[in-house]
């Protein structure tokens, strides 16, 4: 979509948004049109100036899945308490023995990155039929889930795939053929990783390993395949605005381009943005809002963002958000009962998943008020 085809700014933001969406080619379409500047819709007011970057050498912790389980559990719990984020290495150990041996030498998630990149770089006429904001069939391709709610759009396009708890029977056929096999294979591996981590994090809370899995925390699954095209003015926009993830746990695979940053408060109380530089063979794991609630604030969900860079190549990441699969109106979530006592009273009220996600989707991504909606007054 050529920038000259957009209505003039005087036409109003709603008209600009509609023109961008109706083109059905996303941010990639802007790049294909040869734009030399970031359109007004994507311009953020001074996006990077408020909080400083951490000094070089500061990084999120590393958890090694090849360690004995009690050591891995202690490392994962410490990272979830103090950072809310960590790199996970040797993640193939989450797979059954035979599959783990093969996975240690194969090229996942790189094959999935390449497939997602291939779809996003198809000619516009081939991508456009997939473009939709409807999620009825479990799959959609669009730009900015909060496009109509946020003050400024971000420089990314996304394939979104609802993998559970209610998986559409024709889901596989609805995923674009260019990346279908690869993202479904990655789902299997990432789910094994999530289940292993839920066991470790349960142990880190002093609970039996199955506690979080028994609460169906690995059954709700939403995959997002993000594509961040080259940006002509990286200082004017963002890849993703600062936000926290709403679910229990996020398993993120990122390619080598980089751009993810995590907000961290050190022991002296100083807050800074920390670069999560890509580590070959590592996944990025983070605690979501629901796990902070379920752990009664023992684990922390922290803000993170994706900044634009000056590299010519696009960035690709694939995240899977894991959340409870039991979602009936009579099923309530809140702090796990085993973690609550008279000495440690609940910090959050109970709620249904319908109420929780209804609250999440009624706000723009950058809003930080989600947890506050469920906090009990002290």
Query: Domain extents for the chain?
Result: 11-45+60-373
Q: Does residue 293 surpass a pLDDT of 50?
A: yes
Assigned CATH topology for domain 11-45+60-373? Jelly Rolls (2.60.120)
Q: What is the pLDDT of residue 7?
A: 35
pLDDT tens column, 357-370: 888 877 655 555 78
Tell me phi and psi for residue 162, to 5 degrees. Answer: -85, 105
Q: Are 321 and 250 in contact (CB under 8 A)?
A: yes
The pLDDT assigned to 1 comes to 34
Overall pTM > 0.85: yes
Instruction: Please choose, from the candidates 185, 197, 221, the residue with its C-alpha nearest in 3D space to the C-alpha of residue 110.
Output: 185
DSSP type of residue 205: T
Q: Between 86 and 371, whose confidence is greater?
A: 86
| Lowest model confidence (mean pLDDT) among 8-17, 180-189, 250-259 | 8-17
pLDDT of 49: 72
**What would the mean pLDDT of 159-166 be, rounded to a whole number?**
96
Above 90 in pLDDT, residue 309?
A: no
Residue 98 pLDDT greater than 70, yes or no: no
Looking up tokens 């003050």 gives 151
Residue 89 tokens read as: 């290495």
pLDDT tens digit sequence for 10-63:
458 888 999 999 999 999 999 999 999 999 999 998 777 778 999 988 999 999
- Sheet with 62-64, strands from edge to edge, namely 62-64, 85-89, 283-287, 249-254, 315-323, 220-228, 157-164, 139-142
Per-residue pLDDT of 236-248, as tens digits, reads: 999 999 999 999 9
Question: Taking 60 as the threshold, does the pLDDT of residue 3 lie above it?
Answer: no
Is the pLDDT confidence value at 310 over 90?
no
How many angstroms separate the CA atoms of 105 and 183, rounded? Answer: 18
> What pLDDT sits at residue 322?
98
Considering only 115-119, 202-206, 299-303, 355-359, which range has the smallest mean pLDDT? Answer: 355-359
Share of the chain above pLDDT 70, in %: 93
Ordered strands of the 271-275 beta sheet: 240-243, 304-306, 260-265, 271-275
């Amino acid at each position: 979509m050529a920038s000259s085809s957009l209505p003039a700014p005087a036409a109003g933001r709603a008209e600009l948004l509609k023109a961008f969406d109706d083109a059905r080619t996303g941010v990639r379409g802007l790049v294909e049109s040869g734009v030399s500047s970031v359109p007004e819709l994507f311009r953020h007011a001074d996006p990077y100036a408020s909080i400083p970057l951490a000094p070089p050498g500061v990084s999120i912790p590393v958890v090694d899945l090849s360690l004995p389980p009690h050591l891995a559990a202690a490392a994962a719990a410490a990272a979830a308490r103090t950072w809310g984020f960590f790199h996970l290495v040797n993640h193939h150990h989450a797979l059954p023995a035979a599959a783990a041996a093969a996975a240690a030498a194969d090229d996942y998630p790189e094959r999935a990155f390449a497939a997602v990149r291939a779809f996003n770089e198809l000619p516009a006429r081939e991508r456009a039929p997939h473009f939709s904001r409807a999620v009825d069939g479990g799959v959609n391709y669009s730009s900015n889930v909060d496009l109509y709610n946020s003050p400024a759009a971000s420089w990314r396009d996304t394939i979104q795939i609802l993998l559970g708890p209610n998986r559409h029977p024709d889901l596989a056929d609805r995923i674009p053929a260019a990346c279908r096999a690869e993202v479904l294979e990655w789902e299997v591996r990432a789910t094994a990783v999530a289940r292993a981590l839920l066991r470790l994090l349960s142990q880190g809370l002093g609970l039996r390993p199955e506690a979080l899995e028994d609460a169906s925390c690995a059954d709700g699954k939403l995959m997002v395949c993000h594509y961040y095209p080259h940006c002509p003015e990286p200082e004017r926009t963002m890849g993703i605005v600062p936000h926290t993830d709403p679910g229990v746990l996020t398993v993120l695979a990122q390619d080598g381009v980089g751009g993810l940053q995590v907000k961290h408060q050190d022991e002296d109380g100083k807050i800074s943005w920390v670069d999560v530089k890509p580590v070959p063979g590592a996944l990025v794991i983070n605690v979501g809002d629901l796990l902070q609630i379920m752990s009664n604030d023992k684990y922390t969900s922290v803000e993170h963002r994706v900044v634009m860079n000056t590299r010519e190549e696009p960035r690709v990441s694939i995240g899977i958000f894991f959340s409870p699969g039991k979602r009936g109106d009579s099923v309530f979530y809140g702090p796990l009962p085993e973690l609550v006592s008279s000495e440690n009273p609940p910090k959050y009220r109970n709620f249904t998943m319908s109420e929780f996600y209804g609250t999440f989707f009624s706000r723009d991504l950058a809003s930080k008020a989600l947890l506050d909606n469920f906090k009990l007054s002290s």
